[in-house]
Amino acid sequence: MKQNYGWVIVAVGAVMSCVGMGAMFSLAVFLQPIGDSTGWSRAGVSSAMTLNFITMGIASFIWGSISDRYGPRVVVTMGALLLGLGLVLASRATSLLEFQLVYGIIIGASAGSFYTPMIATTSVWFEQNRALAVSLVSAGTGVAPMTISPFARWLITNYDWRFAQLAIGIGVWLLLIPLTFLVRRPPVVVAAAPIAGVPTNGMTVRQALRSPQFIVLALTFFACCATHSGPIFHTVSYAIYCGLPAMTAVTIYSLEGLAGLGGRLLLGVLADRLGVKPVLVAGLAVQAVGAAAYMYARDIDQFYAVALVFGMAYGGVMPLYAVLAREYFGPRIMGTVFGAAAMISSIGMAIGPSLGGWIFDTFQAYDWLYIVSACLGLVAVAIALAFPPQPSRLRVVRA
């Protein structure tokens, strides 16, 4: 029964991640229509996304802590209510500052309520196939650009941007609130014999966050996100800079996301069979190579080849941090620990886009972005090699 219902948790988590992250990242689709309609600058509207990353990172830690104490259902219910509210209020915004605060803070906070708690909850439901299950929940974020964004574009084309955000906000309530009733706590988890040098379930949050294992986890997560955030955000601009048509450049970005879905499944299966650490290290190494390879891409076939490899690598490694957090720190404080790591990683995500923009404005080229990204990728590999051996599996019993 436990394993069977665990897959229900996976399905619910995937849908929530898709809708939550998709609604947040759909701002890219709204960017031009909002600017044309209101006269607000693109830089001003885009700054809401920077605020989103910062808020989402902080909120992930807070939501994770609440999930550990009160259960994930409370968190995702509050998140669903906030996400719909944020979209409805953003659709009514009458000034740029109002839009930035509503979209950046309310929607950013709500987006952090789905991914971290549902990933943490899923990791506790599974002893076997844990990496695959977590990867499937994470795959929801990869589906988002292929579902929420096209739907938003259709609404904007047929109506306007305000109606589109209002409709998506109401749709969030109608879809996610009923799903929250399916979210349940996993069975009680009892730790196996402690292993020297590895945190046990008896650790406090403060002890866990000061442990070498958490420091390595958070720094690897940070360096990984700093590696891929710049290349992801600037893919379309770089392809256009290389002479490709705008619509063709968008297909490269879409292929990265699609490859990320395959990477999540592939690396999730491999991690269950070979162990998380070696698969993570290998994925980070491929990610670094992929970032560097973009410097040499010029025609569409070369871009597609690099996007396929790079997307599979960065998409595949992302869920593995949650699996490592579960293995090292156990289920009792899993949400808090993973939320803290996600908060630190969000800083890395925020660095890449602005760094890439500064590099292009300074050098009128993107080469240094990919050089820096590749170097950060190698740093992530070096840090990941410092992970100690994984602790033995935990033994699960019914409450």
pLDDT at 251 over 50: yes
Q: Is 224 found in the same domain as 148?
A: no
Q: Is 231 found in the same domain as 305?
A: yes
pLDDT tier, 202 (very low <50, low <70, confident <90, very high otherwise): low
Domain that holds residue 352: 202-387
Q: What is the pLDDT of residue 191?
A: 43
The reply to whether 170 falls in a domain is yes
Which of 134, 153, 185 corresponds to the end of one domain? 185
Q: Which of 142-146, 241-245, 291-295 has the lowest mean pLDDT?
A: 142-146
Tell me the per-residue pLDDT of 301-313, one tens digit each, with 9 for 90 and over: 999 999 999 999 9
Q: What is the CATH number of the domain that holds 141?
A: 1.20.1250.20
Q: Is 217 found in the same domain as 88?
A: no
- When pLDDT is averaged across residues 119-128 and rounded to a whole number, the result is 81
pLDDT at 182 over 70: yes
Q: What is the H or E stretch that residue 356 is in?
A: helix 334-363
The mean pLDDT value of the chain amounts to 83
Q: What is the pLDDT of residue 380?
A: 95
pLDDT tier, 179 (very low <50, low <70, confident <90, very high otherwise): very high
169 CB-contact burial (10 Å; exposed 0-12 / middle 13-18 / buried 19+)? buried
Rounded (to 5) percent helix, strand, coil in the chain = 80, 0, 20
Among residues 150, 77, 66, the alpha carbon closest in space to that of 110 is found at 77
Q: Is 374 found in the same domain as 274?
A: yes
Give the global pTM: 0.73
Which of 137, 154, 185 corresponds to the end of one domain? 185
- When pLDDT is averaged across residues 140-156 and rounded to a whole number, the result is 78
Q: Is 243 found in the same domain as 115?
A: no
If one compares 112 and 77, the residue with the highest pLDDT of the two is 77
Q: How many domains does the structure of the chain reveal?
A: 2
Q: Is 178 found in the same domain as 44?
A: yes
**High-pLDDT (> 90) share of the chain, %:** 31
Q: Is 142 found in the same domain as 41?
A: yes
